[in-house]
A and B are shown apart, each in its own frame.
Chain A
Amino acid sequence: MLQQAFNGLVGGAFYALLALGLAVIFGMLGVVNFAHGAFYMLGAFGSYVLLDSFGVNFWIALVAVPVALGLAGTVLQRLFIRRLAPLDPLYNFLFTFGLALILQDLVKREYGVQSQPYPRPDLLAGTVDLGLFTYPAYQVFVLAVSVTLCLLVWLVLTRTRVGMIVRAATERPELTRALGIDVGRWVTPVFGFGIALAGLAGVLAAPMRAVNPLMGGDLIITVFAVVVIGGLGSIFGSVAAGFAIGLVSALGNLYVPALSQTLVFILMAAVLLWRPAGLFGREEALS
């Protein structure tokens, strides 16, 4: 059971990284990025292609792929997302939905729907003794990376000037602007950063999950549910819900296997019933 809990935390690590990216993008730009799952998938495919065609190893991919995708994200924001920003946020949601379809099917046409293998890096091929049980080293690494990144982002958000601006712009956009802070300057980098996080999650997923074009589509909808549970607009809530949902789903899977895929949505329904704005959300979501 402890081992299952650990599995859950590792699964939660992916939810948390994706939810974190979604939350900062939503907070700063007011955009719900449906293409987030597609960028996660591109992250996994990026590292697969680098290894398969160019012999570039996991460690380089771990840095290069997120950076490249992050840059692609900034271009995307500059070219398109920005134009739709003054309109109802639904338009950007529809735009990113269309983009997700394009990216997914482009990759599908190129590589088919079968899963591509990606070996674990040699350094992390073994297992680690965690005292009560041994556990694959790679999974421990994934969890460590995710937790470290989430903590780093938290430090940046709470301790630096940029973080202060991002938080202020997330919580009171008009007021922040009225105080003379150039929010616009930070919008593009934040969007790129969110995309980079999705790409990083994809690279991390490559050695332990099936690398295929459809890996992002279903996952992102689950992450939407996670973000609704945590409270959309709450960065902390999204990350916390990410880990918590990972844990709860894994334990749920242990006791009620039939619910393994639906549990997160049942939890979402319960949260909506009890606290419609999400566990850490603000009331602005309500109608």
Chain B
Amino acid sequence: MILSRLAARPPLLAAGLFLALALPWMIYPPVALDIACWALFAAALDLLLGFTGLLSFGHAAFWGTATYVSGLIALRAGLPFPVAVAGGALAAALLSVPIGYLSVRLRGIYFAMVTLAFAQMVYFVVNQWRDVTGGENGLQGVPRELFGLDLSDSFVFYYAGLPLILAGFLAVWRVVRSPFGRVLMSIRDNPARAQALGYPVQRYKLLAFVLSAGLSGLAGGLFALGHGFASLESVYWTTSGQVVMMVVLGGIGTLWGGVIGAGLVVALNDYLVTSGFDGIGIVTGTIFVLVVLVFRRGIWGTARDLVHARTGRRPDPGQGDASDGTPARPEGVGSPV
């Protein structure tokens, strides 16, 4: 069933798979791995932002926690890397249960603020718990191996990790296309009606939050093992902002837009770092500001609208409604001038 649906769009799917396989040949392999991890992270966030209508500004907590937990499992227990990554994803999902439980009670901008605050709490805990996390030094020299096979070469590790990334994408895609995903979208578009139809809205939101956090953790765990370290930066609020930017740049509620956003942002960051520019925030912030001001549909959203305008086909309702430049989300606070 999944396969038959996947087969419905063979050219795009083939192109995507080809790109995923060819990436380490085209660019520096560690950067390719970065793109793959951030792309999954962005897709996981879009599951929440684009399809459930919840802007989490604290996803660094889940990505970051997974980097540390995966790193510790590989470092201290010496377990093979898929186990370490799974442990990181599980830890992120577990952490998201209390945070999500408290946050989904609030809506819109309040939700964003509270998730941001909880993520900052996680950051402080990681920073202070030096015995375990290494404080400002982070974890270093995390081994990557699978049944004695040394995977410390980034090129090799990319292919070892790719199945996990693709599995993550399949999960996001499957959730969005499932009846569960449809309920999430109805909550995004009209929570009151979803509630009236008998759906326990809060529970659905929480479940979406936990799923999103777990998948972010999967991406984060791979990121940590791929680089052999976990650092404080991964739990910091700039990381939360960065992944939001990727999704907004690519197009909220488009799923694959976040992948493009991740590719562009990671490649740009890499270019800036290697060229010795030390004000990445200036560039990142400017992109953020420009996208929000004049390019709210994002890359994928704009492209899709162009294609639909040409072919005269109506946008696929399952892909979220970004046609008026805003994610479909009627609720809001205040009514500013």
**B104 closest partner in A (C-beta):** A287
The answer to the question of A142 belonging to the interface, with a C-beta cut-off of 8 Å to chain B, is: no
Contacts of B238 in A (CB 8 A): 101
Count of residues in B whose CB is under 8 Å from the partner chain: 60
Contact of B285 among A101, A184, A224, A272 (CB under 8 A): A101
**A222 closest partner in B (C-beta):** B120
B319 to chain A minimum Cβ distance, whole angstroms, is 19
Q: Which of B284-337 contact A (CB under 8 A)?
A: 284-289, 292-293, 296, 325-327, 329, 331-337
A95 to B335 CA separation, bound complex (whole angstroms): 18
The reply to whether B121 and A285 form a contact with Cβ atoms under 8 Å apart is no
Contacts of A98 in B (CB 8 A): 245, 284-289, 292
Count of residues in A whose CB is under 8 Å from the partner chain: 62
Contacts of B109 in A (CB 8 A): 32, 89-90, 93
Interface of B is mostly: helix
Contact of B112 among A32, A101, A108 (CB under 8 A): A32
**B287 closest partner in A (C-beta):** A98
Given A97-B288, A262-B124, are A106 and B282 neighbors across the interface (CB < 8 Å)? yes
The answer to the question of A91 belonging to the interface, with a C-beta cut-off of 8 Å to chain B, is: yes
Contact of A105 among B112, B205, B279 (CB under 8 A): B279
The reply to whether B102 and A269 form a contact with Cβ atoms under 8 Å apart is yes
**B329 closest partner in A (C-beta):** A88
Interface string of B118-149 (1 = CB under 8 A from A): 10110011011000000000000000000000
A106 to B281 CA separation, bound complex (whole angstroms): 8
The reply to whether A89 and B102 form a contact with Cβ atoms under 8 Å apart is no
Contacts of B85 in A (CB 8 A): none
A225 to B128 CA separation, bound complex (whole angstroms): 19
- Ranked nearest first, the 3 interchain pairs of A and B with the lowest CB-CB distance are A30-B334, A98-B288, A105-B281
CB<8 Å pairs between A and B, sample of 20: A30-B334, A30-B336, A84-B293, A88-B332, A89-B108, A90-B109, A90-B112, A93-B57, A97-B57, A105-B280, A105-B281, A173-B336, A174-B335, A224-B116, A225-B117, A227-B113, A261-B127, A284-B333, A286-B106, A287-B205
